[in-house]
Amino acid sequence: MTICIDMGATEIKVAPIKGNEDKIIVGELKKFPTNASLGKQGIVDALHKAILSLNGADVYGVAIASAGDIDTESSVITYATENLPGMIGFDFAQFCKDNFNLPATAINDAHAALLGEMVYGAGQEYQDKRVVMLTLGSGVGGGYYADGNIVSNEENDYGRFGHICLEKDGRLCTCGKKGCVEMYLSGRAIHRDADALGIDGPDIFEKYGNGEQKNVEFVNVLRANLKKSLDLVMQVSPFDVCIIGGGVADWMEQYFYSITDNLGYNIIRASLGNSAGIYGAYAHYNRR
Ligand SMILES: [Zn+2]
């Protein structure tokens, strides 16, 4: 089996996967705190612990999805924010070889989520299409799939759609730029905006569904921001289908399609939930 890892800023998810691209068996998903506040050593120790928890005689390799920019050829983190302090330059393949004598691959977590959805989830029937994914979580992750693979290059800014400028001179983003998509469509931003209108809470979208005026107006602004974001994504990564995942999609629940319909795009909801990165790490490992 393959040890599959999804390393984010707050937790490291790990699950064993057996099988091939057609039929796989996914074992129990476990979570470990990333311990990013402890710096690089804390993160590396947490990663070690996560892999060790599943290591055994029947393990063939380690498939990793991680926050940050990853060079998929070398499995090295080429860029990371302070979410993963000190990790720029970290070599996943070398780490797994030195500590466990196992081969390893690594891919950016948002790209992994898209690849996971394409191979095992909502995107399966669109494998011959051009597909973008927006993961609306605590941040906004992006990915682009065309000609059967993830497309990540300078032209589409490596799929960092969360940091496309939505509002000129808008809100200051953690990346240092102003007006990024992430500042308007992430779970954090949506909570903050709703809170400012006095409508925060888990039932924002339910009340929208029930036709409460304030909530309907709030969602209309959200829809407009989503449409504008997709218009901008279209310019750098022309797509036929958009998959939306992340905590915000789950939050919208049964109102997902009433919110995302009629924006002029073919939008579908992700189906692998917070396991998408694990599945994508595995699909990437098998394509190495
Ligand atoms: Zn930004």
Distance 183 CA to ligand 1 centre (A): 7
Rg (CA), the chain: 19
pLDDT on residue 44: 98
pLDDT of residue 161: 97
DSSP 3-state of 45: helix
Long-range contacts of 34-40 (CB under 8 A, 24+ apart): 34/7, 34/8, 34/9, 34/10, 34/84, 36/9, 36/10, 36/83, 36/84, 36/85, 39/85, 39/86, 40/85, 40/86, 40/87, 40/90
Q: What are the extents of the domains in the chain? A: 2-111+276-286, 125-271
Rounded distance from Cα 106 to ligand 1 centre (Å): 23
Q: How far is the CA of 116 from the centre of ligand 1 (A)?
A: 25
CA 51–ligand 1 middle distance (angstroms) = 32
Please tell me the distance between residue 174's alpha carbon and the centre of ligand 1 in angstroms. Answer: 6
Going residue by residue through the chain (288 aa), what tens digit of pLDDT does each one get?
999 999 998 999 999 999 866 789 999 999 999 999 999 999 999 999 999 999 999 999 999 999 999 999 999 999 988 889 999 999 999 999 999 999 999 999 999 999 999 999 999 999 999 999 999 988 899 999 999 999 999 999 999 999 999 999 999 998 899 999 999 999 999 999 999 999 978 899 999 999 999 999 999 999 999 999 999 999 999 999 999 999 999 999 999 999 999 999 999 999 999 899 999 999 999 998
| Residue 15 alpha carbon to ligand 1 centre in Å | 31
Q: How far is the CA of 244 from the centre of ligand 1 (A)?
A: 19
Q: What's the CATH number for 2-111+276-286?
A: 3.30.420.40
Domain spanning 125-271: which superfamily?
ATPase, nucleotide binding domain (3.30.420.40)
| CA 13 – ligand 1 centroid, Å | 25
Distance 165 CA to ligand 1 centre (A): 8
Cα–ligand 1 centroid distance for 20 (angstroms): 37
| 125-271 matches 2-111+276-286 in CATH topology | yes
Tell how far the Cα of 241 is from the centroid of ligand 1, in angstroms. Answer: 24
Q: Residue 21: its pLDDT value, please?
A: 60
- From residue 287, alpha-carbon distances to 45, 94, 119, 261, 281 in Å are 28, 19, 11, 34, 10
Query: What does DSSP say about strands 76-79 and 69-71: parallel, antiparallel, or unpaired?
Result: antiparallel
In this prediction the pTM is 0.94
CA distances from 263 to 152, 242, 259 (A): 25, 11, 9
Residue count (the chain): 288
Per the CB < 8 A criterion, the answer to whether 15 and 63 are in contact is no
Nearest to 158 by CA among 249, 269, 69: 69
